[in-house]
Amino acid sequence: MTDAIRAIRGRAVRLGRAWPWVVDLGLTLLVQLAVTMPFVLPREAGLPAVSWGSYAMTTLGVLPLAWRRHRPVTVLMVILLVGGVYKVTLDGPGQPLPYAGLIAFYTVALLCPARVRAAVGALSVAAVFASVGLAAGSARELSFTMFCAGAAYALGRLQFTRQAYTAAVEDRAAQLERANRIEAEQAVARERARIAREMHDILSHAVSIMIVQAEAGPVAVRRAPERAEAAFEAISETGREAMVQLRAMLGLLREDGPAPREPQPGVAALPRLLDRVRQGGPEVSYEETGEVRALAPAVDTAVYRIVQEALTNVVKHAAARRVAVRLHHAAEELTITVTDDGRGPAGGGSGGHGLIGVRERAAAHGGTVEAGPGPGGKGYLVRVELVTSQVEVGI
């Protein structure tokens, strides 16, 4: 039963906000019904019969309520004036309560600023005293009338406070909703950028290795058939691994089911990566120094992708014969160094060896990137430092 009452109340509140004139019209009709009752109920013996004139005057004191939101002070003044004329000139039936006047006073308390409320309050008190005095009313009647007026004013101010609080809560909720929507959009943009970066690294590396192996294949077929078989096997293995990683990336974009939970490659997968580069490509040496420790999954994958991107740039641009990959573990950071003996930045075409992805991954983990000519001005060197003190996990 409580849920039904709340539902009805909620619909009424929404109706009042959407069409306030409907509420005002309904309230006017309800007050008109209340003031009509003394005219239709039997009167005590000895009292004069009711007249259409007195009923019309009573109705005239109710109709202004339909405009109470637009002209609250004017409506109250008209209602008080009509009530005073009715009391002085007509001998019609009285009302248990001045319904229209109380509602008009409530509306003034709800909608008008403080100065207007003070002026209207003083004028209303004077009108009440004059009305009761002219009617030779008692102190009891005066006290009751003043109490009802004060209650109407208090209810109006309470409603004002409630509406202000509700508006503040709704505004806060709207701000939070906008903030959540912006945060969600930013998260989606970051995730799209991450997926795009991952797909670029996967495809760029795989295609580069496959091109190198494919170009070396015909030469190997003529000079060393056994190496040709290894080259074709490297192409096949590189393609298969690229497909596995691409399926994992594309699974994140699917909406009809959960993405696959296959782990991303990390430092442990570097030997296989280096083996693929060696087959038909430059000689690659690998060294891992310092206190080797397990890394958080995000950092682990970042290390793999950084080395992969650096080697891809070497294969595509440097025409190097030897490449050295070195990982050095320190207490709070990990340093990745990739050095080649190739043509250096001038031979890369872009001068930067496509380091945008490397810089983005390093920045995501509080790291820095240094790139430039190798030792003695020969070849090219890429050094990346990643902060691991806050993201390392225990072994």
**pLDDT for 9:** 61
Q: Note whether 298 and 365 are within 8 A (CB).
A: yes
Amino acid at 329: H
CA distance 127 to 148: 14
Helix (H/G/I), strand (E/B), else coil: 389:
coil
What are the C-alpha distances in Å from 172 to residues 166, 176, 179? 10, 6, 10
Best CA proximity match to 358, nearest among 206, 205, 241: 205
* Helix (H) / strand (E) containing 253: none
**pLDDT for 392:** 41
Amino acid at 209: I
Low-confidence ranges of the chain (pLDDT < 70): 1-18, 45-48, 91, 131-138, 205, 209, 212-234, 245, 248-263, 280, 344-354, 389-395
**pLDDT for 346:** 46
* Helix (H) / strand (E) containing 1: none
**pLDDT for 348:** 42
**pLDDT for 352:** 46
Best CA proximity match to 101, nearest among 152, 137, 136, 54: 152
CA distance 290 to 344: 28
Helical ranges in 19-98 per DSSP H:
20-40, 52-60, 72-89
CA distance 207 to 129: 97
Best CA proximity match to 111, nearest among 165, 73, 145: 73
**pLDDT for 243:** 73
Q: What angle do CA 335, 339, 342 make, to 5 degrees?
A: 160
Amino acid at 245: Q
Task: Give tens-digit pLDDT for 26-53.
Answer: 888 998 898 888 888 877 766 667 788 8
Residue owning tokens 């001005």:
377
DSSP bridge partners of 338:
325, 382
Q: What is the pTM of this model?
A: 0.50
Best CA proximity match to 82, nearest among 68, 101, 96: 101
Residue owning tokens 């004191």:
61
CA distance 355 to 360: 9
Task: Give tens-digit pLDDT for 182-220.
Answer: 888 888 787 777 777 777 777 776 777 677 666 666 665
282-395 to CATH, choices 3.30.565.10, 2.60.40.420, 3.40.109.10, 3.30.450.20: 3.30.565.10
The strand ranges marked E within 279-352 are 283-290, 322-329, 333-340
Q: What are phi and psi of 190, to 5 degrees?
A: -65, -40
Q: Could you tell me the residue ranges of all domains in the chain?
A: 2-137, 282-395
CA distance 137 to 134: 8
CA distance 36 to 58: 8
**pLDDT for 258:** 53
